Amino acid sequence: MTVAAPLLTPEERVSYLAAGATLRSWLATTDHKRIAILYLISITIFFFIGGTAAALIRLDLLQPTRHFLTNEGYNRTFTLHGVVMVWFFLIPSIPATFGNFLIPLMIGAKDLAFPRLNLLSWYIYVLGGAVTVYVLIAGGVDTGWTFYTPLSTMFANGHVVAAAIAIIIVGFSSILTGLNFIVTVHKLRAPGMTWGRLPIFVWSHYATSLILVLATPVLAVTLVLLLAERVFHVGIFDPSLGGDPLLYQHMFWFYSHPAVYIMLLPGMGVVSELVSASAHKRLFGYWFVASASLAIAAVGFLVWGHHMFVAGQSLYASVIFSFLSIVVAVPSAIKVYNWTATLYKGDITLDAPFLFAMSFIGLFTIGGLTGLMLAMLAVDVHVHDTYFVIAHFHYIMVGGTVSAFFGALHFWWPKITGRLYSQFWGRISAMLIFVGFNLTFFPQFILGYLGMPRRYHIYPPELQVWHVLSSAGASILAVGYGLPFAYLLYSLRNGRAAGRNPWGVAGLEWTTPSPPPRENFLKPPVVTREAYAYPIEESGHDG
């Protein structure tokens, strides 16, 4: 760890990165680690596209009525922000990058079960992304990311067709990733890697994959129906034929609510790893945390109707959905309490990954509890479709998932690249993001309770102060998100070599060189210990 940045360490010479430097060696690779890098680069591009749209929104809302965007332009901007962030960043974010890179390493496999399908899924993602970029260039969509009928089928005049096709395409990429993970976890575990020894990261990706394969097809067919209605005037949800737009909402949320857990569960997996690693201690209550992931995946399918409490849904269905939504909070609460208890009697290093994990726990807790408020029927009637909801799901998806994504990036960066980055800047960026995030989104809870509807371009002047605070927070957030790209890229050339286990933590992935060799392990691992077994056995036994 004290080697001063040699051009290539001996371990780097056999690494997957050294296996070829041509464009072809990347674009035709079936190595899960390289595909993970391809994904990392592509989702980063979309993160910036979606982030730019967010910046435009926050800038434009500084003033209640005097805007630089037209109403139509504003609608297209927030729709683009939603579509890009949901389908092209959040859903693939952790699974397709860190899941892809780490699952085989964590279970001691050479690759995923279907490496070529894995590459295919990336190409499908790129194709879907290309169609989205076309939508952006052609002028955007004006329906909101939810594409509610009959607005989307009969009234909207944006590029609804292309946008829906892009989402259908990217859905197939999700399905292939999920399928690959399920089979890999079942069939490719190393000798001795029992289910009880799987890291929570793997458990939560397994749960995520179940949702990916079961929910995504429903979205695909729903959008196909939407296209049929818009393009061929086929009557499916058309109210003038007696059709029911609420059925569209049922189908849409049957996917889109579990999709929230697609975004969240991998983040919970990451945080479980980070908490245990930072405390250098076993995760408190392994089985509770592991089964909570599966419980969330299963119960998460039973709550979609809470998006429809004021939509004209049956009152009785609403009561049932409300109850189940409260049930699904139980496994989430278990996780939060267990993470906290893990720190007790720990040996805690206050590095950047730990700070990101702590901000995940804090922000996710606030997001989760406001979610419980939204599950309460009479409360939802007031705050539904207001900024309260916006703040709530940004706490979950940005405060939660994006924090976890950055935590994962900072924790496994040395494993992925073989280089160490500056802890100082890492900590600064974690704290900037935490502060900026809260300043951006906490005012939105208040705005929501005051009655500020979502997707409003013009708003009552008395709400301006809260909007200005929110926009100010967003500028801090932007700096926080921008910083890592500077110091992480700098570390690629100038960082010190990481060595196998720079954090001194348990986990199969830390027993192999950094970056790992093409086959992941120099010799096939045999697992004899549980995940999170501390103190760790020093020095690699397979070198």
Q: In the window 224-263, what residues touch other proteins (CB under 8 A)?
A: 224-225, 228, 232-236, 238-247, 250-251, 254
Looking at beta carbons only, is 29 or 143 nearer to other proteins? 143
Told to check if 431 binds other proteins by CB under 8 A, we report no
Does residue 120 interact with other proteins by CB under 8 A?
no
What backbone phi and psi angles, to 5 degrees, belong to 497?
-65, 140
Helices 315-327 & 329-343 angle (0-180, nearest 10): 20
Q: What is the CA radius of gyration of the chain?
A: 23
**Closest-CA residue to 290 (of 350, 335, 241, 341):** 335
Tell me the two tokens of residue 103: 């699952």
Taking CB under 8 A as the criterion, the residue among 194, 314, 494, 528 binding other proteins is 314
Residue 106's nearest CA partner among 220, 234, 273 is 273
Q: Which two tokens stand for residue 258?
A: 């579990």
C-alpha 219/C-alpha 111 separation (Å) is 29
Q: Which is nearer to other proteins, 331 or 418 (CB)?
A: 331
Going residue by residue from 71 to 110, which x/- string records binding to other proteins, judged by CB under 8 A? xx--x----------------------------x----xx
Q: Which is nearer to other proteins, 75 or 514 (CB)?
A: 75
Subset of 1-60 contacting other proteins (CB under 8 A)? none
Q: Per rule CB under 8 A, is residue 472 in the interface with other proteins? A: no
Q: Which residue has the tokens 């049956």?
A: 314
Q: Which is nearer to other proteins, 20 or 217 (CB)?
A: 217
Is 214 a binding residue for other proteins by CB under 8 A? The answer is yes
Give the residue, chosen from 4, 21, 22, 316, that forms a contact with other proteins under the rule CB under 8 A. Answer: 316
Segment interacting with other proteins, rule: CB under 8 A, options 44-52, 130-138, 340-348, 428-436: 340-348
**113 vs 488 by CB, closer to other proteins:** 113
Backbone angles phi, psi at 517, to 5 degrees: -65, 165
Place of tokens 């061929």: 232
- Cβ-based nearer residue to other proteins, 278 or 417: 278
- Judged by beta carbon, residue 169 or residue 488, the one nearer other proteins is 169
Among 173, 222, 272, 276, binds other proteins (CB under 8 A): 222
> Site for other proteins (CB under 8 A): which residue of 19, 59, 64, 540?
64
Q: Is the peptide bond before 515 cis (omega within 30 degrees of 0)?
A: yes
Contact flag: residue 305 with other proteins (CB under 8 A): yes
Q: Which lies closer to other proteins via its Cβ, residue 434 or residue 481? A: 434
- For other proteins, which residue of 313, 422, 423, 475 counts as binding (CB under 8 A)? 313
Q: Is 513 exposed, middle or buried (0-12, 13-18, 19+ CB in 10 A)?
A: buried
User: Per CB under 8 A, does 333 bind other proteins?
Assistant: yes
What's the one-letter identity of residue 130? Answer: A
Site residues for other proteins, 124-143, by CB under 8 A, read: 142-143
Q: How far is the CB of 485 from other proteins (least distance, A)?
A: 27
Phi-psi sector, 520: left (phi>0), alpha (psi -120 to 50), beta: left
For other proteins, which residue of 284, 356, 411, 521 counts as binding (CB under 8 A)?
284
What are phi and psi for residue 429, nearest 5 degrees?
-65, -40
Under rule CB under 8 A, which residues in 355-414 are in contact with other proteins?
358, 361-362, 365, 369, 372-373, 375-379, 381-382, 384-386
Q: How far apart are CA 423 and CA 342, in angstroms?
A: 23
Smaller CB separation from other proteins, 418 or 507: 507
Number of residues forming the site for other proteins (CB under 8 A):
149
Q: Which is nearer to other proteins, 9 or 342 (CB)?
A: 342
With vertex at residue 44, the alpha carbon angle to CA 40 and CA 46, rounded to the nearest 5 degrees, is: 125
**What is the phi/psi pair of residue 386, to 5°?**
-115, 180
Least distance from other proteins to the Cβ atom of residue 247, Å: 6
Q: How far is CA 310 from the centre of its chain?
A: 28
**What DSSP character marks residue 401?**
I
| Whole-number Å distance between alpha carbons of 413 and 241 | 56
**Backbone angles phi and psi of 312, in degrees to 5:** 105, 15
